[in-house]
Structure 1
Amino acid sequence: MQSATMSTTKHKGLLELTRTLLLQQTMTSLLETLTKVIQTAGIAEAVTLVLFDNNSERVSFYGIDSHHQPVSYEDETMLATGPVHTLLNNPKTQVWRGDALHLRYPQLAVLNLYPPFSDYCLVPLLASSGLLGGCEFTRQHGTPFSEEDKNGLYELCTLAAIAVEQIQLRQNALLQQSLLRHERDDFRILVDITNAVLSKLDLDELTGEIAKTIHHFFHINAISIVLCDADKESEQASVYATHYVQTHVAEREQSRMTLDGSLEQQVMKNGEMLLTSVQHTGEPDDDESTLFQLLWRGQTKTLCILPLRFGHKTLGVLKLAQCQPDNFNSANLRVLQQIAERIAIAVDNALAYQEIKSLKEKLQHENLYLTEQINSNNPDFSDIVGRSSSMSAVLKQVEIVAKSDCSVLILGETGTGKELIARAIHNLGDRRDQRMVKMNCAAMPAGLMESDLFGHEKGSFTGATAQRMGRFELADRGTLFLDEVGEIPVELQPKLLRILQEQEFERVGGNKLISVDVRMIAATNRDLRQMVADKEFRSDLYYRLNVFPIVIPPLRERPEDIPQLVKFLTYKIAKRMKRTIDSIPAETLRLLSRMPWPGNVRELENVIERAVLLTRGTVLDLQLPELNYPLPLPVSPPERAMPVSDPAPAPHLSEEDERERILQVLRETNGVVAGPRGAAQRLGLKRTTLLSRMKKLGIAAH
């Protein structure tokens, strides 16, 4: 009965001891508990732990000194080759006398980790995961460890091994949690920096944002981005430096540096991070910015230079400097390398954007230049030559109508300069900064005119392989100039009228209404009023176009402008041909002023161009005998010409013969002048030209 009671008490004691050991959270608290147990039992005075590292040959030592302070030590030589090493091959309890142990393992005394002892006992720590190490017990009173002591210590170490295993598992779990927290924090830093820098396309903004975020997360006070020039042969680089002398107060500087022989060039070439310390003497240093020299004079700085590589391109380096090296620990360096990879992407984007922006600006300037060459803004009418009363009246009309948005109809014979007047109206108006789109209706086939004016949808007709914008869309917010508007087919005129009234239309083959804001300027050399009478032109479209008519007088009605025109054209053509013509004979000017010029300014320009080409000196040589005026009159386009039996009046006919010929044709046409069956068509003349000759010859129009 007494034996059973003693057994129960013993089991309760073991259970309580086990619970006490397993409650310990650290190796130090476990050692303190074991020390109390062995001292209470009188088995030993001190206890230490020597534990193996599973991933290396290293062992860890845990003890408590005479002042009850924890002692820890790690090595892979002295302790690892001591008594604990024998447990790897023979995990049994070892008992040593102090002198014999120091004689066998003299390195233990050198380490000075143990309190003085006379006897030593090493018990293996065996757990479910294997051999953990050994538990060392020491005595100071000179009594050797007996077998009974050894058995008692072995039982105690069986429980201690479980406690050690639990503490190691807990420590590993805490370490993993800490690593996960660091990885999470690093990930957040990477995400924040990535979001901050990838949205910046301007290099100056990008480098400033990089410095701001690195300073915020790592408290680094000197951040530089060094970017090598695009020219691979160049040894120059641009430096974007930011320095934080005070917290959150940034001092920024841009400079240039020579890469030859620099640390930056070394990092760019080998692609490896460089970490080094440099003593700043305060003397000028070409390798550093002026700002850094002023702010960090006389201090030792730690430099971290990371390559900025994207794909196969080396863009430059990220250069970090700090007077306290703590920020460049292994964990931070790992994150900074990842940050440098993301910065390289952002820098590459910014450089590409900078290049695109530069090309775009170049194209805009070239486009502006070409536009100026094509639509030269001449508010002083520098290309419109002529100061006759009739031309002065025209120019006054242009100035009046230019500031409004009303439709303008320019009337005049071929070659009078209707397009010049249209451009003057556009350039003097509020739409001068927008495009003036031109379309010659006479040169456009009737079947393609609708598509060219209004655009078409893909597949709307054979050959429409893609959607196309029409001239009205191209001229949105600008001006559309329709030259030879009288040639627009009757079936297309209602659609043109609609867009003039409502400023909206549909593409060919489409059903979507497209709204535009277009100013209309039209020009023609035909009599639209007569065409309306002949049902060749819609009256409502005519009235819509004829809001503000401007009639350009033919050259023969303003002979006083011819000398000025001749001089202007001679200078312009000679300059284009790289010729020098100093003077024009007065007789030449008088002769040219007396000619009828049925082709108007265009014809005069052709004559001057031929004369400049044939002139061998510096005086314009017109070669009058070869001119053989009056010149043949232009005929109407072949598609509108009617077959006639009688030829047009020859230029050499006398006035009386010409009068009789015109009267004969008028009798044949019953007095009709215009139209497809009119006298003008039969004679091969324009209606206005025929009327002018009839007036000259005293023939009344019926």
Structure 2
Amino acid sequence: MSYTPMGDLGQQGLFDITRTLLQQPDLTAVSEALLRLVKQSALADRAAIVLWHPGNHRASYYATPVTGKSIAYEDETVLAHGPLRRLLSRPDALQCSYQEFSDTWPQLVTEPLYPAFGRYCLLPLAAEGRIFGGCEFIRNDDRPWTEQEYQRLHVFTQIVAVVTEQIQSRVTNNVDYDMLCHERDNFRILVAITNAVLSRLDMDELVSEVAKEIHHYFRIDAISVVLRSNRKGKLNIYSTHYLDDHHPVHNQSETDEAGTLTERVFKSKEMLLLNLHERDPFAPYERMLFEIWDNKIQTLCLLPLMSGETMLGVLKLAQCDEKVFTTTNLKLLRQIAERISIAVDNALAYQEIHRLKERLVNENLALTEQLNSVESESGEIIGRSNAMYSVLKQVEMVAQSDSTVLLLGETGTGKELIARAIHNRSSRNSRRMVKMNCAAMPAGLLESDLFGHERGAFTGASAQRIGRFELADKSSLFLDEVGDMPLELQPKLLRVLQEQEFERLGSNKLIQTDVRLIAATNRDLKQMVADREFRSDLYYRLNVFPIHLPPLRERPEDIPLLVKAFTTKISRRLGRNIDSIPAETLRALSRMEWPGNVRELENVVERAVLLTHGNVLQLSLPELTTEMLAMPLTATEQAQDGEDEYQLIIRVLKESNGVVAGPRGAAHKLGLKRTTLLSRMKRLGIDKDALA
């Protein structure tokens, strides 16, 4: 049987509806009031209450038909074997068109109760786990109810169920006015607790809210929700203890199921009420209760939390005063347990959905890694964005050739991984790729490292050395940060690329080499050529097949995959067991700009892994967000009073006549990289051409 939260109408709205229906003297009047309410809400054109009498298998019908005159109707045949009988055997909401209705119950459409209509809905009336009737809602047109309308129909049905039960009880047992007032108060408690708990999807928050409400209304000091653990034979206990009203103690623990009172309830599926003495054998949780309350006798009430026939868990209540658990309170607590069961079911479903989403991300990550590492061709490249897809397509196009490749992109974008992918997919992959960082080597040693030297070629050259070009024969050479190569060395590099030959330092012997060059830089080589900081002929020789690697801020959809991969890799390296990353953390990380790109992201993840306690990655997002979004201190332009980031960028662009790059451009004034400013302008929807 499905339920729905009642918070959509608001508590005041629920009270107004409840008061209206409770004021009705009988079920016929209730059906009239119900019809007025659903018509006012545009939910239905007709409404009726159908009750089942199990003793004689009769059904009774209360409604205001099309003619406007209220009727109360009973029969033993047609109505009793109509939609209500189906609802009793299959306790799910029923919706159908008039054609489906007439095809299923042809005898019923001949009765005056059901003139032609468009859409029909029957929702169950239930109390204490027992369906005793249904609420009918009919529309004249065949327009299905929206999800929000459907939820409101559920709300009306739940209230009608309580009101109907009260009226029947009053008629059969001659309940006096005081009892009615008490029932009304209990219903208000039930509504308040229902609204409080049904919107909670996190289990810890749910149990805390359950404990707060039960303590408030019943003065019960120890409240727990006990669920079976994923580990066989174990129980998860979410508990709250009110040592005083203002400082509840929340705790989550795991214990063995065997020998516990909870195990008895799981087996019987019935409420368990008992007094527990210190001398009695009891499980660790009950022993803890004695320690908390100085070994006083505990009265325990264990209520099963059921979803249909499925046992979800146990609501465990403990108090030193046994007078709390009166017959009246137990009846209300049973009803409350039914609502808590729905909330627990929702929370467990949410946990399962969250787990499946996490699993899907992991599977997508694994699949991506498999696709990227087919025959070890793409190494450790992680990405499913259009930008990375374009890069990988270019890799595929150029890999089998011997053409020189120039990888362009900011620091930390993964240029070395792309270089490895190109090499691994080429015909040279039988030999390892040789790499060298031109910026990490002092200028005086760079030539020796590239081309090698003979013994005695210079002071300190005590032995012959084979250079990188010689090592990379029949393979690929990856020159990282090629833009930092000194000008005097650039002609020698050009010669090797053109002639495929070179000389070691201190030797005039030509050495032939067959090297495929893959170069990378984070600098603007074209601008460097214009500034005479880089040789134009070498630039054109390198720029045969340029591949631009997008910065991380331009492919935020890849960030969750990268975070997962880094967390797994770093956790394994550090001997940690981190198997979950909060979705909110992934969303927050995806919104950041990451000036340090993938390398910065990996460093942040490594720091988070080091600081994490438990198996859920813990990341200090507020601090990180402030660092990521702050304007650099080098900016010459700062925000004026009341000026936000959007207004600041607009003003500086106008002052710069729309120029972004260059010494007089907006990026320079703001202390930002040109690409960073363009990224922020795109995020904020700023078009510099529209500012003129």
- TM-score category by the smaller chain? 0.3 to 0.5
TM-score, normalised to structure 2, is: 0.42
> If you compute each CA radius of gyration, which structure gives the higher value, 1 or 2?
1
